[in-house]
Amino acid sequence: MMKKMLRVNVIISSISAERFLDFRKPFPQIHINTNLNLTEMERKPDNSLEVGFVLTISYNPSVAQINLKGVAFVIGDKSEIDSAYKDYEDKKPPPPMVLQSVSNVALTESILIAKTLNIPPPVPLPQVTTETKQPGTKASGKEYTA
């Protein structure tokens, strides 16, 4: 028998973001703190859940800040909803699917906001490195061509 999965729809209801550093000044070495809190879980009569969340991104030194608030609507099998709500009441972690969905939407939105404010993104982006190899030597690892 195949287990049904929870479905999560994430809605952002409030966005607050500000750049404190003058656009003409270079960025100092910064540390970015990202904090995602699921604030509440409410059971609905249609056997669904509403999960409130707040994402706070702070830059140290204080060059910018981003805050997002919203709600995740969780639907699924009655037993899964019951289990998720009981875990919430027992102060246990939320289902990974809910946390992952909220995290994906909120962090993706925060990256777009960071781009708009011309500040470093709150998650590290992949770094492309260029390696120079000497003629006749083989680079370590596999080489791929497309």
For 103-135, how does the pLDDT look when each residue is reduced to its tens digit (9 = 90+)? 999 999 999 999 999 999 998 767 787 765 555
| pLDDT one-digit tens code per residue, 10-24 | 999 999 999 999 988
What is the predicted pLDDT for the residue at 1?
46
Edge-first strand listing for the sheet containing 48-60: 7-19, 64-75, 48-60, 31-44
Between 140 and 79, the more confident residue is 79
pLDDT at 136 over 70: no
Among 9, 68, 63, CA closest to 34: 68
Question: What is the rounded average pLDDT for all residues in the chain?
Answer: 88
pLDDT at 36 over 90: yes
Q: In the chain, what are the domain boundaries?
A: 7-21+28-117
What is the predicted pLDDT for the residue at 67?
98
pLDDT at 2 over 50: no
CATH fold of 7-21+28-117, please? Answer: Bacterial Protein-export protein SecB (3.10.420)
Compute the average pLDDT of residues 64-70. Answer: 98
pLDDT at 33 over 60: yes
What is the predicted pLDDT for the residue at 63?
94
